Amino acid sequence: MIYTTGTIAISGNTLTGTGTNFTAAGSLIRNGCTVIALTSPAQVFQITAIGGATSLTVAPAASPAIPAGTKYSILLSDSLSVDGLAQDIAETFTMYQRYMSGFADVMNGTTDVTITINGVAVTVPGQKSLAKKGANSDITSLSGLTTALSIGQGGTGAKTKEDARTNFGLGSAATVDVQTSASDSTTGRAMLNGAFGLGGQSLTYVIDDTASHSMPCGMYNIANGYMPQIGITTDFTYLTIQRGLRPTRILQAYNLRRTFFSYSNGSSWTYHEAYTTGNTTKASDGTLKAASPVARIVMSQEENQRTDIAEDGFSWCGCAAANEEAEGIHVSRIDVGVYTLTGSAGLASSGWQLLPPMDPGGMGELGIVEAEQGDNGELIIRLFKRKYILSDDGEMVKTKGAPIDVPLNSWIDARLDMPEDSIWKTKVMEASIAGADSNPE
């Protein structure tokens, strides 16, 4: 066997190695071994002393000196003598003794231990620093785990589920089951997004308007539903607030813009319609009037002095402003105090029909208004001055005076009926059909 690791240089009797380990366990390098320097010509030396991993003493002295980086060979079995064999065996036992000593240090160590194997230093943790240390003295089966692992260690930092939830910052909802569906009304369950129509799409139910009071609180949608008591025949939504046998509902017929509050006494319902800007109009003096399709007639859009006439959903249609339900009408001034209105089905068939201009300062009526149906179906609306005469009985009687135009600080209110093919009614019908298509029963 030969040893050739690294390179050498020899000056006199001193051999210096680069990348060598002359003292490695089991290397079999010893005094008496032959060193051949692979120069030209080759030089032969004998080891007389081992000074370290990179240092040997050799004889005879090198002449000439051997330069650094020279390759070499050390003959490790240059003799078959009994003495050489004994030295080989002794060196081998020494190597294994070093290994066993290192392994013993590893098994008994309480800190990191460094051992050398085949000349390479290896650092490993001592075994006593691992498995049996501190309160958790036995990790083979965790039977000795008496201290809870912290959250940072991957544990809960607690020994009970209650304390674990506290450490994780979990509230009481952590122990509650989630609803099985958006309509699951089981007591004590956590709500899903959209539960009972809250925070999501409203639920679809067929409304029972007679004696059913078991529906839970929530938002509900009725497609193609009906509410005979209040005359709703189109789609609507409602909010149910349930308390025992005394539920309350807020109903919104969104195509008709009508809102109702309904109350149950446990066996029947009562309904009250809410008045809003969707089903009222503000008269020229600021008072509210129940309304459906409404037109506000002025002398002209350009000369009108009221900035609030086209508010709350009203838009101009000639010398008038109409709300959305009256969309499609047109009003023209044809003479002093005479106006024509086309596109309607006439004045409202029930309730109030005409309101004269009112003083915005609260001083009352500013004229007398009347209407008649023209030959072509249009409405002819006339405004007159107020005139008072003394009757035969000695009473002051209000009567019509000369024709006048609508005062610039006021307007005439006309409440109308609209034909079935009007823009508004067509929109309501289309919306109802679309709702039926998307929510089939």
Question: Is pLDDT above 80 for 169?
Answer: yes
- Give the C-alpha separation, 230 to 364, whole Å: 35
72-75 and 2-3 strand pairing: antiparallel
- What pTM did the predictor assign? 0.50
Task: Evaluate whether 383 touches 298 at the Cβ level (below 8 Å).
Answer: no
Question: Would you place residue 302 in the very low, low, confident or very high pLDDT band (cuts 50, 70, 90)?
Answer: very high
- Give the C-alpha separation, 125 to 111, whole Å: 6
Q: Is 369 helix (H, G, I), strand (E, B) or coil?
A: strand
Q: Which two tokens stand for residue 265?
A: 């006494």
Q: Is pLDDT larger for residue 140 or for residue 358?
A: 358
Question: Would you place residue 380 in the very low, low, confident or very high pLDDT band (cuts 50, 70, 90)?
Answer: very high
Q: State the pLDDT at residue 12.
A: 95
* Owner of token pair 């050799």: 58
First-residue to last-residue Cα distance in the chain:
96
Q: Is pLDDT larger for residue 126 or for residue 316?
A: 316
Q: State the pLDDT at residue 440.
A: 44
Q: State the pLDDT at residue 297.
A: 96
Amino acid at 18: T
Mean pLDDT, the chain, integer: 81
Q: State the pLDDT at residue 138.
A: 56
Question: Is pLDDT above 70 for 209?
Answer: no
Q: Is pLDDT larger for residue 191 or for residue 80?
A: 191
- pLDDT tens digits for range 316-330: 999 999 998 899 999
